[in-house]
A and B are shown apart, each in its own frame.
Chain A
């Protein structure tokens, strides 16, 4: 087994025992990145020198007997979390040379454990997209089939994990951006409860929906990453003052006494690919075999999720992205002769087409005379959707569903058809609107050999039940151990 193939918990064991050094492990991962990144496009920035320095520091720390789960582990960070002194571009021309003067809270936490940050991963520009095609620096390719998308917007993080170009990664999820690429790349991904992980230093897209979480090779690794990043942070006023548990304690092998809900609206969903349907049905049977009881639940308002989301998210984005004006940081177009021309030229040249579309949709929805009909109404429908999930979760402990309606689609297929692209988010948007945690875990392969993910959603702050179901499922299956041939 090559060192870069190790899971986080395996690598930790070897580092702790002194079988390997972080320098060796980090070197192996950096070489792997060097060999593959030209094809996969998983990273925007690779920090070879910084990573090797951090690896040496980790080795010294380990030698002194101070080793915690992330010490010396090479990790990737999505390129919208600030890293002090290391470029953070959001995959946008408007931030192409931005070097943050501080670390995001999650990056501080990784560094405090002695983790090695190898680089910043590719994404859809400002996290707006489901395919990683909307990156100013070129698309990411799916390691399982390089003619296909890896999913988005954390597609670089998911592809990097799947291709062993890091041991684990951080992503962010506003409407499925951790779970959907994890599903398409055959790895595990967890979107925590809104407010569970600090967003201090995360570039804002839609502030009432954004959440940071792990993408990793297995469920135990997700739990270890959660242990590192979860918890209250007064610098993020939406961070919830509530202690985070030891997530590894939730990893049990049976599901006795647990009830899982199967939403009837999702079973009846039009456009569900037969291979996805088959994989999900089979996963539900496996979970029943582990002792869980499956019950049918109803989410009557989920038919509105795409509509509500594509009002709320662009509205909030149009406001958040007003700050990119060519004044304090980032790209500036200097061709105009006054301030207003500078704003217009900078933003029109600096933002890509999908970001511009969403800014226009959001500005329209928030403009005088339209606010109530769009943002106001969508926020009321959001209440209905949240209540649907809260009600369903009184009769079951977790909800099971597909992550995406189809396996990864070919690059270029939907890029000029925004609505069709948005409809591919139908199963993941709800968790963000309801603020609940959601997870993707590999549960099968399509006839063409493409990974399929099972989504597990749960109650607010009950990431533990998700991890428990996902871990028990992994103990009974081997989908998560398959890796693409590269």
Chain B
């Protein structure tokens, strides 16, 4: 087995997901199957091969450091689930 139920719960927690028992049971088996399949990557000879992060590699995509209009505050706040006049509002951070 590549991944246990406990590991699935731990990794989900790192990703800020909380799974119910049914989801843990279902996901653990499915994710284990996928991880077992991708294990075939080990067979590939990649000795000395550089990784490809982008197929078309650009370095230093510069632009002029010019002032430009950005979203105004009202537009930026318009989709907020909760807000006041100037800020995003979130639940209590420190207990």
Contacts and interface: CB of A to CB of B under 8 A. Distances in A.
B54 A208 contact: yes
Contact of B79 (A99, A378, A380): A99
Given A195-B56, A301-B44, A102 B34 contact: no
Contacts of A443: none
B17 A359 contact: yes
Nearest to A382: B52
A337 interface: yes
B92 A376 contact: no
A195 to B, nearest CB: 5
A315 to B, nearest CB: 11
A240 B56 contact: yes
B1 interface: no
B80 A344 contact: no
Contacts of A435: 54-56
Size range of the interface on B?
35 or more
Interface stretch (A148-156, A248-256, A304-312, A402-410): A304-312
Given A208-B54, A361-B34, A348 B17 contact: yes
A198 to B, nearest CB: 12
A367 to B, nearest CB: 7
Contact of B38 (A101, A310, A318, A348): A310
A59 B17 CA distance: 50
Nearest to B2: A364
Given A348-B18, A359-B15, A360-B27, A306 B50 contact: no
Interface in A198-256: 208, 234, 237-240
Given A194-B55, A237-B61, A359-B15, A377 B34 contact: no
Size range of the interface on A?
35 or more
B17 A422 contact: no
A382 B38 CA distance: 13
A433 B51 CA distance: 12
A286 interface: no
Interface string A300-335: 010110111011000000100010011111111010
Nearest to B45: A384
B18 A344 contact: yes
B67 interface: no
Interface stretch (A7-15, A44-52, A128-136, A350-358): A350-358
B16 A419 contact: no
A361 B58 contact: no
A348 B19 contact: yes
A274 interface: no
Contacts of B25: none
A43 interface: no
Interface of B: 3, 7-8, 11-19, 23, 26-27, 30-31, 33-35, 37-42, 44, 46, 49-56, 58, 61, 63, 71, 75-76, 78-82, 88, 90-93, 95
Interface of A: 97-99, 101-102, 193-195, 208, 234, 237-240, 301, 303-304, 306-308, 310-311, 318, 322, 325-332, 334, 336-345, 347-348, 351, 353, 356-357, 359-361, 363-364, 367, 373-374, 376-384, 386, 417-419, 422, 433-436, 460
